[in-house]
Amino acid sequence: MRKFIFSGSLISAVLGGWGTLQTTRKGPRDWRLILMWVSWAASVAIAVGTIVKQSQDADEFDELGV
């Protein structure tokens, strides 16, 4: 869990979601808003995937005993 909390990429993605949320509350509701949410979801998914992959790589590295 700690690897997710302290990950810079995930923190950045969550903060980007805050901006998207503020735009949703105050901005116009059109097709660009949908694209903003899709983009935010993709960035969170990529950040989580990167963290999981790095964790798996670190575990493999530890198993090799290097």
pLDDT tens sequence across 6-62: 778 888 988 999 999 999 999 899 999 999 999 999 999 999 998 889 888 877 777
pLDDT above 70: residue 1: no
Single out the residue of 66, 55, 63 nearest to residue 1, CA to CA: 55
pTM of the model: 0.78
Q: Report the pLDDT value the prediction gives residue 62, as an integer from 0 to 100.
A: 75
- Per-residue exposure over 4-33, b if at least 16 CB sit within 10 Å of its own CB, e if not: eeebebbeebeebbeebeeeeeeeeeeeee
pLDDT above 80: residue 4: no
d(Cα 33, Cα 10) in Å, to the nearest integer?
A: 21
DSSP string of 4-36? HHT-HHHHHHHHHHHHHHHHHHHS--SHHHHHH
